[in-house]
Chains A and B, each alone.
Chain A
Amino acid sequence: MNASMNRAASLARKELMHIMKDPRTLLIVFIMPLLQLVMFGYAFDMEIHMIPVGVIDRDNSTESRRLIETFRGSDLFRLSEAGAGSGDVEASFQSRKTRAVLVIPPGFGKDLARGPAADVQMIIDASDPNSAQLMKNYFGQVLAGFNESGGRGGAMPFDVRTSILYNPDLKSAFFFVPGIVAMIMVMICALLTSITVAREKETGTMEQLLVSPVRPREIIAGKVLPYVFLAFLDGTFILVVGILLFGVPFNGSLLLMVGLSTLYIITALSLGLMISTVARTQQVAIMMALTITMLPTIMLSGLVFPIESMPKPLQLFTYIVPARYFLQIIRGILLKGSALAHLWQPALSLLVMTSILLTVAVRRFGMKLER
């Protein structure tokens, strides 16, 4: 047992030296997530400010001017006169000078007085549907304000009180820091491990290891442990940056976090080992690791795009993406202070996946090596 430990340890030391001697990869491993963190953290702000809006006032009455003033009073818009022809609106959208045009039809002022209602037209450049939806909401709010200040109808017969929990300022960093941690772990444990195993195969050093008294299980341990260490280091690094720079909270239990992260790391490692039993060259390993692990982790786990909004078949597919469960776990623990009682479902799913993957991976890896 002791000899076995020693052998694994010396393998691990060798692996760690490989990692340290490749500063380019190491740099990418640490810098890239940081860059993503900064970009997502600062850039993914869903509020749009100073939307350029063109105004066509065909009524030119006191009421229409008052409406325009109400719009001007909000810091959401930047108003400008727009040409009145319909070709002008098209041209201003095509040149991206305006994103929306407010058209007040003739008789707006009269209609307000006579009832039942006065229509204003809002032409929105909906090529980006998300922004279009937001703009529409903003316009609705401004118009509601206009109506209310004029004592007009349409006011809600009840109050809507909205409260936002866990991330009251809707900071995107809160959302992305856990996601980036999940991504790093897959990148290091699945991508890097499968590449290094493939490299040993390519250069023939794996054969050298096999003729030595090292047993397959020790090879796995020795290869994998440095990456576990690196994954924890990198994950902690991003988490600390997130906490210090963006004020991401840590509400839950540290113990639970470490435990379930370990589970997730083992899943990612198993995937990496499985890939390396199939891939004979680094190039194949890279391609496989990217398509089987990285892409699903980024695209199909809820890291950026909500799973509920995907079509049903794609949603079913997300159930076999480990990051899906880990994201619920890590976001739950960090932001919501969820306990195991809340997270038993994703934790159990992850545990089942991990045990299946690990068994298959170790068996396959051992078999491949012994042959």
Chain B
Amino acid sequence: MDETRMTGTAGREAGGENDPRTGRAMDTVVRTRGLTRRFGSFTAVDGVSLDVGRGEIFGFLGANGAGKTTMIRMLCGLLMPSGGEATVAGFDVYRESEGIKRNIGYMSQRFSLYEDLTIEENIEFYGGIYGLKMDEIRVRRDALLEMLGLQAEARKLTRDLPLGFKQRLALGTALLHDPKIVFLDEPTSGVDPRVRRAFWDVIHEESKKGKTVFVSTHFMEEAEYCHRVSIMRDGKVIALGSPGELKREYGRSTIQDVFIEVASGRTAAGGGEARAGGSGDSAGPAGKGGEGS
């Protein structure tokens, strides 16, 4: 059963190589149409439509409570949408969340490795539940440890690692099973700029290999590293495009300035390829937190 699904997906997105830097992918791996999620009377994500291609680094920008986490959770199959459509790696988020889960990696805001397991035990565990064979796990574990320079510490408890290493280990673990798409929910919050740099090196590396990377952040300079950026406010995508396009369009020199302009709601809906189902002047209640729950 599992195997047929896998080959099925591969078939669905067969398409030639494409340049990830064009910002427009021929083979779409994430596609949403009017995706919506409500918590009671509060709408956390409001009719978002997106197409993200293979190998793209796609950034989600937005203040806390703008709907970034809810969006990522729906795409990961963690949260049932209240309306709209979405497919991830060719699988429908309503009915085929198990298929999605085999093809994605995920790193949440909270540190999600087991602190009371050693580094290698954590790697082995996550490799194991993704169905990797023991010798595959060993090869990838050694590669990951080497990349992090942690070979000597492999048998130490994860609890004793410095935060920066913990975060990079978590990222490496999320990539261990070579997923098609990686979702990173504010992966760099709380780490120093050097570690953040190392993080982005990994992200670019993976993108070159053809992986799609979804990353949410509130560091504006990080947005510059993305192929395309979407700015969210009150559950809606209000601006979408490559960093260069956005800066040109709003006549600003940095994404930070674009963000301040767009997110403050002074301008109407952004341009580019945004097919965001709504405009900047939203009807949703502002400032409510939709990140939790």
Q: Do chains A and B touch in the complex (CB under 8 A)?
A: no
Q: Mark A residues whose CB is within 8 Å of B.
A: none
